[in-house]
Amino acid sequence: MDKAREQRTGRLVPAEEIGPDPEPFERPLICLHCDSVVEPVRGYKSVPSLFRLAKGTSHEAGCLLNPTEVIQSIAHGSHGLAHVTDDGLLRLELPADISALPPWPTMPIDDTDTDVVRTHNTTTVRPYLPPAITSAAKIARFLHMHGFDPKVVERFRVKPHGQRPILWGRFCYSPRTYADLYQRCARREPISHPIAVHGTVHSIAQDRNGKPYARLALDVPAGDTRFHVLLRSAHDSLIKPLTAGTHVLAVGDWTLFDTPHVPQLRLFADEHWQIAYWETDPTTGLPTEPICPAPVTARQRPDAEARARTRRSRPAREPRHAPAQPESITPPPPPALAAPPPQAQPAAETVLPESELADEPAVTPPHPEPAVPDAPTQPPPVPPQPPFPPPPVPPLAEPAPRRQGWRRWFGRRP
């Protein structure tokens, strides 16, 4: 836990107060949400201090930090995707289509309906988060309340579709582990499942074209370098609900984007359900329920699809893993940039064994990327033999399915 209370005074004690001698707080300390006694645990190096239950105690029934209850509650609300194991762990299964919605008696998401009227306060179509994302967001929210205590993180597992279960920390990265994801991407480690990044929005910035993007972290140290963690989208509406201080879980194809300045660990979100977000209630100090932005409308989509087709029609002059494109190019990276290395690109139904709980998978040794000139923003006059001829579809027709970004994990367009 990153906060506790003095039992006698009720004063809130943040974990940052742990360390000095004499202690600036009065013992005993109790849980923020129940009367169970907790102990300060001093951090070391990059591991922050936190509070942990005193030996032999447990959170009271009904406490928001009670792992057993929360685990059961998440499993109960997961529509069969999260299971409590015999060891008391919670294992979240990622379905083949992580965006799938269960057959609830609710209004379906209809992102082709451009007549949906949304005002500041009302939405006629509530965007529902898929249960896999909702469950992941609830777990992330719970771990955040625990200050990402490794002992609590240890109680969660993820089972990517068709693969072996992996540790929660190999699926979801939080501020304490951003550098681990950076290193995985820098090593070009094959990752054959969606990755979730959880964090709190540091600030909203705009690129040179005025498109907003969310900065989750800036200048994160990783070895002898530093990097930024950015959440971007070709659809402004996916970023606009976010403000500084919003908690976010962003799921998809996180990639490392090299720039001449600071490398960027980033996600280009294509769909609303890739972004779950919640706030801290200012009166109670408690996190609110995770929600997501409104679905991208058909009216928004043709623009992005047309830009993607334009990019696809270019001759393939770039290597599969070209480094930075300039900040001014706002749409998601072309397939050549978003695609994984050949060995990481499974067929839709391929079952990939993953030995993540045993040994770390073999990694490709890092090698520097060749510097390439900036990609043109317009197609050249005479494109020789484009690898992906632009489909002759009218602008408002259903666009051809793309197998970039998160869709590369699935066999069909949701």
Both tokens of 35, joined, read: 């009367």
- β-sheet bridge partners, residue 265: 229, 256
H or E stretch covering 53: strand 50-53
CB of 13 to Zn ion, least distance (A): 14
State which residue has the least CB distance to Zn ion.
Answer: 31
Closest to Zn ion by CB, 59 or 157: 59
Q: Helix, strand or coil for residue 262?
A: coil
Closest to Zn ion by CB, 155 or 170: 155
CB of 83 to Zn ion, least distance (A): 24
The amino acid occupying position 61 is A
Closest to Zn ion by CB, 63 or 393: 63
Closest to Zn ion by CB, 4 or 186: 4
CB of 1 to Zn ion, least distance (A): 8
CA gap 369, 255 in Å, rounded = 14
Residue pair 280/247 in contact by the 8 Å Cβ criterion: yes
Q: Helix, strand or coil for residue 44?
A: strand
Exposed e or buried b per residue across 224-248, where buried means at least 16 C-beta atoms within 10 angstroms of its C-beta: eeebbbbbbbbbebbbebbeeebbb
Both tokens of 46, joined, read: 């990059």
Both tokens of 68, joined, read: 């057993």
Which residues within the stretch 65-104 sit at the binding site for Zn ion (CB under 5 A)? Answer: 65
Half-sphere exposure of 9 toward its Cβ, with a 13 Å CA cutoff?
8
CB of 55 to Zn ion, least distance (A): 15
CB of 193 to Zn ion, least distance (A): 33
Per rule CB under 5 A, count of chain residues that contact Zn ion: 7
- Binding marks (x or -) toward Zn ion, 27..66, rule CB under 5 A? ----x-xx-x----------------------x---x-x-
Closest to Zn ion by CB, 30 or 90: 30
CA gap 258, 186 in Å, rounded = 10
CB of 84 to Zn ion, least distance (A): 20
- Binding marks (x or -) toward Zn ion, 274..313, rule CB under 5 A? ----------------------------------------
Closest to Zn ion by CB, 51 or 173: 51
The amino acid occupying position 85 is T
CA gap 202, 276 in Å, rounded = 16
CB of 23 to Zn ion, least distance (A): 21
- Binding marks (x or -) toward Zn ion, 2..31, rule CB under 5 A? -----------------------------x
The residues binding Zn ion (CB under 5 A) are 31, 33-34, 36, 59, 63, 65
